[in-house]
Structure 1
């Protein structure tokens, strides 16, 4: 079995020995679209994180039997085309939950405690100039007692809610925008209006695209912070940058953008205010998370070889 990994660089030098034990393994750090056909010509199995494999590519790869997506989202794979070409497709879910939850609270605690500002000041020698033993230049606020709204109550949203509760927050679950609240949930509008912290964990769909824009940002408390470790495009980036610049909300922590890597003219990438924490799509990528990811891919391939369906989408 020939196994080709198209973007091994996204696996951060994690050992791929478990994949190598399953067949002849060829790894490319990154693959451009024009390189795809040549590199996969003899592949039985292709492992891809973000490289797009569409109908045109599948039609030129008659040996391809299995596409393993090294992620949960599969928007880079033409699933109907895979079915038509009798190519199995698997993904991996749940591997990054601890990592994403940790990064979510890294953003929350830094924004509430203004930790990034204090670190900056210490690096600039301002502590040495303090007339007292500490510096109290910026507010330091606790999660305890705050209302934290979860938008997207899947496995990640539930895990964030559990940790928030341990911190002493009052957790509320937002209903989908435009829907009547189910039992145990509040309306989308009420979540925006009442929350001190809003954490987004829903998928990007046509329904959720730009679901938080200027109108929604103006509903929020001026003291509220907004966290997005889900998908870029759920929050309108230009409107968020404007809201931060004009103190419509207190701060935001963003790990994802609508186009990645960040483009030079992206409003959030260009924003220089210290009430935004922007990180380069790293919430999923703890060392432990990627090790779990590789292990799951290997198990998906083993199951396929044995005629079993595991994490199958097609």
Structure 2
């Protein structure tokens, strides 16, 4: 039974299988033109971001399971998989706490300008101060502020739980097509009251560019935005403009619309004020990686028990 991991380097924790009948072949990465040759004899395929379309799935005559090492399955042609009797399984809950903690960590960094003040301690601004401290950008407390959450899934609820523990008032965006709950607001209204906005919705035609120029203009002065969902939820050019103009106080972005991004990506410019960009690592705590690895091993083990 041949198990192929197409982009194993995306999961630093190595997998192991107790069943001696399983032949495990991890590839660090796989280019689109190499997918078919690597999976044509596979019984199970593990993929994080490598796409398996109709052509690839039909070429894998022995394939019985596709295990997606992520919370979503948007890189798999689910209709073709169903037609061919190929089971598709994902791991939806391994990283909820990790992403939620990243949201709160970057929220503190933005509200308290941690990066700026740490730099001031080393670049001479503190030593040149006439006082015991160096006063720079305005520091805002997190407690007592309004935490706006767009997306009420596992991660959104986990981030909300942490925010409440910090004394924040949590408000959710109303779920489209559902009655508005007491702790929810229509998105247009949430934008106007949130001191921090965090995004946790999937990328769909309806959510593509949902935070654009108009949405950013609605946000209150001093607000910050955090995106650990999908890069294309936010109009990157509009975000940069809002930060440069000062209408938005800060942004923490862990996902871009193209990954890995080109060197000239608009959000990687060095002179954008109050922008914190991280390389899609919100999910990647050691505990989350261990949970993901264990769940993948379990999926494969159950399939071939």
Whether TM-score is above 0.5 comes out as: yes
Question: Distance between the aligned counterparts of 2:59 and 2:131, measured in 1?
Answer: 71
Aligned length: 305
**Matching of residue 10 in structure 1 with residue 10 in structure 2:** yes
Contact 1:7–1:28 under 8 Å retained in 2: yes
Contact 2:143 2:166 in 1 (8 A): yes
The TM-score normalised by the length of structure 1 is: 0.92
Q: Tell me the distance in 1 between the aligned counterparts of 2:125 and 2:236.
A: 33
Question: Normalising to structure 2: TM-score of the pair?
Answer: 0.95
Shift of 1:177: 6.1
Alpha carbons of 1:140 and 1:19: their partners in 2 closer, same or farther (altered >3 Å)?
farther
Distance 1:69 1:3 in 2: 13
Q: Which residue in 1 is equivalent to 2:39?
A: 40
User: Does the C-alpha gap of structure 1 residues 228 and 87 become closer, same or farther in structure 2, counting only changes over 3 Å?
Assistant: same
In the aligned structure 2, how far is the partner of 1:177 from the partner of 1:129? 54
Give per-residue Cα distances to partners, 1:178-224, cap 9 Å, x unaligned: 97634431111110001111111111111111111111110011210
Q: Give the drift of 1:294.
A: 0.8
Q: Are 1:256 and 1:279, in contact at CA under 8 Å, matched by a contact in 2?
A: yes
Deviations 1:134-164 (A, max 9, x none): 2222222111110111110111111111111
Give the C-alpha shift of residue 271 in structure 1: 5.6
More deviation in 294-303 or 119-128? 119-128
1:70–1:126 Cα change, 3 Å: same
The C-alpha deviation readout for 1:26-71, integer Å capped at 9, x for no partner, is: 1110000111111112211111001111100111110111111000
Partner residue, 2:76: 77
> 3-state DSSP class of the match of 1:129?
coil
**3-state secondary structure, aligned to 2:184:** coil
Kept in 2: contact 1:175–1:182 (CA 8 A): yes
Q: Deviations over 1:244-300 (max 9, x none)?
A: 111121111111111111123432123622311111111011121111101001111
Contact 1:19 1:25 in 2 (8 A): no
Gaps of 5+ in 2: none
What SS does the corresponding residue of 1:89 show, helix, strand or coil? strand
Within 2, Cα distance between the matches of 1:22 and 1:154?
Answer: 38
Q: Does residue 86 in structure 1 map to residue 85 in structure 2?
A: yes
Counterparts of 1:210-221 in structure 2, within 5 Å, are: 210-221=209-220
Instruction: Give the corresponding residue for 1:125.
Output: 124
Match of 1:114 in 2: 113
Corresponding residue number in structure 2 for 1:30:
29
Unaligned 5+ runs, structure 1: 307-314
How do 1:58-207 residues align onto structure 2 when only pairs under 5 Å count? 58-176=57-175, 181-207=180-206
The 1:134–1:87 alpha-carbon spacing in structure 2 relative to 1, beyond 3 Å, is same
RMSD, matched Cα: 1.7
Between the aligned partners of 2:241 and 2:39, the Cα distance in structure 1 is 45
C-alpha separation between the residues in 2 aligned to 1:83 and 1:212? 34
Inter-CA distance 178–193: structure 2 relative to 1 (3 Å threshold): farther
